[in-house]
Amino acid sequence: MPKITWKVSPTEEITAEVKTGITLMEAAVSNNVPRVIGECGGNMACATCHVVVSNECYDLVGEPNDIEDDMLDFTEAERTQNSRLSCQIRVTDELNGLVLTVLDY
Ligand code: FES
């Protein structure tokens, strides 16, 4: 199972082995990652699953589509260049080692 890391503060991170096929939002919620809520259940209607993908890993997940790009304007913490909605990224073996940051509000 691929290992995913969420940086949740400058000094704290959560690393978990995650099943393939689920979304990174579902993986975060099931691992109690703070501030990844997934309020709309992955329907791209809430932006509460906002994460920032590390520069080194961004090519693995790629760019958001136009709808996701629009929704990223509604994140609680201001979006960055590498922001993604984690409900739109499915876990695959290729994502092993992925590092995400969960911004503070
Ligand atoms: S869970 Fe609502 S937009 Fe991702």
Mutate to test the pocket of ligand 1, among 22, 25, 79, 83 (most ligand atoms within 8 A of CB): 25
pLDDT in tens, 16-63: 999 999 999 999 999 999 999 999 999 999 999 999 999 999 999 999
Distance between CA 44 and CA 42 in Å, rounded?
6
| No. of helices (H) and no. of strands (E), the chain | 3, 5
CATH of the domain at 89: 3.10.20.30
CA distances from 104 to 11, 82, 83 (A): 13, 15, 13
pLDDT in tens, 50-83: 999 999 999 999 999 999 999 999 999 999 999 9
The response to whether residue 33 sits with its C-beta less than 6 Å from ligand 1 reads no
The response to whether residue 24 sits with its C-beta less than 6 Å from ligand 1 reads no
The response to whether residue 64 sits with its C-beta less than 6 Å from ligand 1 reads no
Residue 45 is part of which domain span?
A: 3-101
3-state DSSP assignment of residue 96:
coil
The structural domain count of the chain equals 1
